[in-house]
Amino acid sequence: MNLLVTGGAGFIGSNFLQFIYEKHPDWTVVNVDRLTYAGNLENIAHLSNWDNYSFIKADVCDKQVLDKIFEQYQFDAVIHFAAESHVDRSILEADEFIRTNIYGTYVLLELSRKHQVKRFLNVSTDEVYGSLGPTGYFTELTPLAPNSPYSASKASADMLARAAFHTYKQDIVITRCSNNYGPYQFPEKLIPLMIHNALHDKPLPVYGDGRNVRDWIHVKDHCEALLTVLLHGEAGEVYNIGGNNEQENITIVKKILAILNKSEALIQFVKDRPGHDKRYAIDATKIRIKLKWEPKIPFEQGLFETVEWYVKNQTWVNKVITGEYLQYYEKQYSQRIKI
Ligand code: NAD
Ligand code: TYD
């Protein structure tokens, strides 16, 4: 297999590369990443011994450069992770989300067609379905109803992928996964942010009443599902991926504090996220029945190991937290806390 991975220096992409290195070291893999604030070479430093692996710093929106890369490598498949991925950032400023997530996906689809790539996997999110009330689940037939600029940009990318399948008969598969957690997640997302703040005895900012629900999955389980869909998914199909693990945000925050033996007095309820989706819950019956995949890592174990990882890897955290991040953090939480 000759595979292009986009966004492989980010959280899920770097875990996916490690997973492929362990499972299929004979594959030829090219990782194209622009190295934004969320992409870090530290995440993939351990791949330096992998002979068949190359890293290329490039922007997925740069059609000319990407065309040359496609020409040179003649990929069998593309797995497309590269994206702006943080909802709160998309609310502050969405330009990069529109550019990378929509135009970048279009460029990759076009080049995959031109260079006759055999399979394109678009890594998407359950957030394209919008929000659930207290009951029910997202299935692959749930209508798309994105509520944030982030999820709207991801839904647009999914629609372009769908159009490529219908119009040009390209071999496209789409996955829509729930919230991931695990090592190398940038400390702006709920779990790593709460671990980091708790470790430094800083306030843990919980939006609204903390009762919003997400379905959490360990990133390794997601990677295994992605490989399964890449190899065995049916062209033109969408596969939901979930952890079968609904949790209220406040429950997770309290679990993290308990693991670290820190006081719940650190919890600070802050102004809610505008348009905050109440509940996500995945029905993953299709991938379970058709492709025989299901998540394996129990949440309590996965969360404990993740907290341990962040405790042991504070040097990594300090490296990825740049001036840009500190400015973002200040902007985000000074507005939220002053209510
Ligand atoms: P991330 O923000 O950690 O990483 C994104 C990566 O994409 C970074 O390495 C960044 O440098 C790269 N990138 C951004 N813009 C680029 C551009 N223009 N050109 C090339 N590279 C660029 O994101 P993540 O959490 O690893 O998510 C990866 C994918 O999975 C995204 O498409 C996201 O929408 C999707 N997803 C994420 C989750 C989750 O819980 N994190 C859940 C479901 C789906
Ligand atoms: P996040 O990790 O940003 O993922 P997403 O918005 O894509 O689901 O947030 C997960 C949940 O945690 C979401 O309901 C928002 C909430 N949250 C907080 O309460 N405080 C925070 O500081 C952050 C970043 C998120």
Structure tokens at 169: 């008969």
Ligand 2 center to 249 CA (angstroms): 8
What percentage of the chain exceeds 70 in pLDDT?
99
Ligand 2 center to 59 CA (angstroms): 27
pLDDT above 50: residue 153: yes
Give, using CA atoms, the residue closest to atom 22 of ligand 2.
Answer: 205
Is position 268 within any domain? no
pLDDT above 90: residue 234: yes
Is position 258 within any domain? no
Who has greater pLDDT, 189 or 324? Answer: 189
Give, using CA atoms, the residue closest to atom 17 of ligand 1.
Answer: 59
- What pLDDT is recorded for position 54? 97
What domain range includes position 59? 2-178+218-243+276-296+323-332
- How far, in whole angstroms, is CA 246 from its chain's centroid? 18
Q: Which ligand has its closest atom nearest to the C-alpha of 185? A: 1
Ligand 2 center to 179 CA (angstroms): 9
Task: Specify the amino acid at residue 182.
Answer: G
pLDDT above 60: residue 339: no
Give, using CA atoms, the residue closest to atom 12 of ligand 2.
Answer: 190
Ligand 2 center to 3 CA (angstroms): 32
Contacts of residue 272, Cβ cutoff 8 Å, sequence gap at least 6: 207, 208
| pLDDT tens per residue across span 61-117 | 999 999 999 999 999 999 999 999 999 999 999 999 999 999 999 999 999 999 999
Residue 334 parent element (H or E): helix 323-337
Ligand 2 contacts CB of residue 212 (under 6 A): yes
Active site annotation includes 308:
no
Q: Which of left, alpha, beta for 128 (phi over 0: left; psi -120 to 50: alpha)?
A: alpha
- What pLDDT is recorded for position 144? 98
How many residues are present in the chain?
Answer: 339
Average pLDDT, the chain: 97
Strands 213-218 and 246-248, by their bridges, are antiparallel
- How far, in whole angstroms, is CA 194 from its chain's centroid? 18
Domain count for the chain, please give it.
Answer: 1
Active site annotation includes 150:
yes
pLDDT above 70: residue 263: yes
Q: In the beta sheet, which residues pair with residue 172?
A: 120
Catalytic residue among 33, 59, 88, 127: 127
Catalytic residue among 53, 137, 150, 181: 150
Q: Which of ligand 2's atoms lies nearest the C-alpha of 206?
A: 19
| pLDDT tens per residue across span 172-229 | 999 999 999 999 999 999 999 999 999 999 999 999 999 999 999 999 999 999 999 9
Active site annotation includes 221:
no
Is position 184 within any domain? no
- What pLDDT is recorded for position 128? 98
Is position 76 within any domain? yes
Is position 337 within any domain? no
Give the mean model confidence (pLDDT) for residues 37-59.
Answer: 95
Structure tokens at 237: 């199909």
Give the mean model confidence (pLDDT) for residues 143-151.
Answer: 98
Q: Which of ligand 1's atoms lies nearest the C-alpha of 37?
A: 11
Check which CATH number belongs to the domain holding 156 and give it. Answer: 3.40.50.720
Catalytic residue among 59, 110, 126, 158: 126
Is position 308 within any domain? no
Is position 251 within any domain? no
Decide if 252 contacts 300 (C-beta within 8 A). no
Nearest to 101 by CA among 85, 89, 117: 85
Ligand 1 center to 82 CA (angstroms): 4
pLDDT above 50: residue 41: yes
Ligand 1 contacts CB of residue 125 (under 6 A): yes
Ligand 1 center to 123 CA (angstroms): 9
Ligand 2 contacts CB of residue 189 (under 6 A): yes
pLDDT above 60: residue 273: yes
Is position 309 within any domain? no
3-state secondary structure of 258: helix
Ligand 2 contacts CB of residue 179 (under 6 A): yes
- What pLDDT is recorded for position 338? 52
Ligand 1 contacts CB of residue 38 (under 6 A): yes
